[in-house]
Amino acid sequence: MIGASQLLERRGLIDQVGNTPLIRLEHVTSHLSDAVQVFGKAEWHNPSGSVKDRAAAEILRQALEAGAIRDGRTLLDSSSGNMGIAYATLGAALRIPIRLVVPGTINPVSKQLLQALGVELEISDPLEGSDGARQVAAELAAQHPDRYFYADQYSNPANWQAHYRTTGPEIVRDTQARLTHFVAGLGTTGTFTGAGRWIKEQVPGASIVAFQPNSPLNGLEGLKHLPTSRIPEIFDPTLPDEILEITTEQAHAMARRLAREEGLLVGASAAAAAVAALIVAERLESGTVVAVFPDSGLKYLDESFWRGP
């Protein structure tokens, strides 16, 4: 039996998480002042292809150090896709079994990836969405406390702490503390809360801007419309200087532009981040705007919006 300390010592893949590049948007920004720069943090460079590797790695690290995953215990959580893929990828490398509850609306490619990675999947009622999946996971955890470590990414402080420890410091380092605006979407709110908190502390003059879909019915996978959702416990409502609302149509149009004008094939949530970053940048005479781009567009290629003009 391998102990927790031995697992952490040999955590090869987990050490590859983070240190993703900042990519400057060159063409969709051509209408802006020359003194305004907009960057996307390309989180698809993480091992499992999304920003969620950061939270998954920190949740696993803290659980291993606390002895919460031991004696063959399984990590249990709910996910809309990317967090599950991150758990599955890093869990496989650490030989930790993963069980996930995912809503029936999960993207088919994400589901295939989870199955390929050997995860035990439970599908929850599609009408109840990700909050329903979370409820099912909580019930499973309560029924079998000895079988599962229930990670609960929405309330687990390791989620935002991952971004406070890595994403925020990377952005401050890579912009040489010159960023004026930080932009991130609200899903579990871990990225926004953790990185935003670090940036606020290190660059007090920077504005911390969140965005969410403008409607509960939207095509921005991974983002939450907070007014109609269960608010994640880790969300810090005092942190945002502003919360923008982005439409799915804006994000889909931007996804096509980023692919065709910048060579960046990103998912709809990253495209929405670019829309939000441009809204902020268009108000500036000078400044440096950094937005987090959670994943690439590869999982979503069968969506019809790519065929638009």
Partner 1 sequence: MSNIRVPTALRAYTEGQIEVPTKATTVGGALQELADRYPGLAPHLFGSEGQLRPYVNLFVNDQDVRTLAGVQTPLAEGDKLMILPSVAGG
Minimum CB distance to partner 1, residue 135 (Å): 10
Please state the φ and ψ torsions of residue 263, each to the nearest 5 degrees: 75, 25
Applying CB under 8 A, among 222, 240, 267, 297 the residue interacting with partner 1 is 222
Diameter of the chain measured on Cα atoms: 60
Q: How far is residue 26's CA from residue 247's CA, in Å, rounded to a whole number?
A: 23
Exposure class string for 133-156: b at 16+ Cβ within 10 A, else e:
bbbbbbebbeeeeeebbbbbbbeb
Nearer to partner 1, 20 or 79 (CB): 79
Q: How far is residue 121's CA from residue 143's CA, in Å, rounded to a whole number?
A: 17
Element holding 279 (H helix, E strand): helix 268-281
**Residue 47 lies near partner 1 (rule: CB under 8 A):** no
In the region spanning residues 223 to 252, those forming contacts with partner 1, defined by CB under 8 A, are 223-225, 228-229, 232, 248-249, 252
Q: Could you say which of 48, 78, 110, 269 is catalytic? A: 269
**Residue 20 lies near partner 1 (rule: CB under 8 A):** no
Q: Could you say which of 41, 52, 111, 299 is catalytic? A: 52
Active-site residue, 200 included: no
**Residue 184 lies near partner 1 (rule: CB under 8 A):** no
Angle at 117 between CA 295 and CA 139, to 5 degrees: 90
* DSSP-derived 3-state class of residue 185: strand
Minimum CB distance to partner 1, residue 163 (Å): 12
Active-site residue, 224 included: no
Nearer to partner 1, 18 or 132 (CB): 132
Contact 187, 224 (CB under 8 A): yes
Which residues participate in catalysis according to the annotation?
52, 269
Q: Which residues bind partner 1 (CB under 8 A)?
A: 52, 55, 78-83, 102-107, 126-132, 134, 153-154, 159, 187-188, 190, 215-225, 228-229, 232, 248-249, 252, 304-305
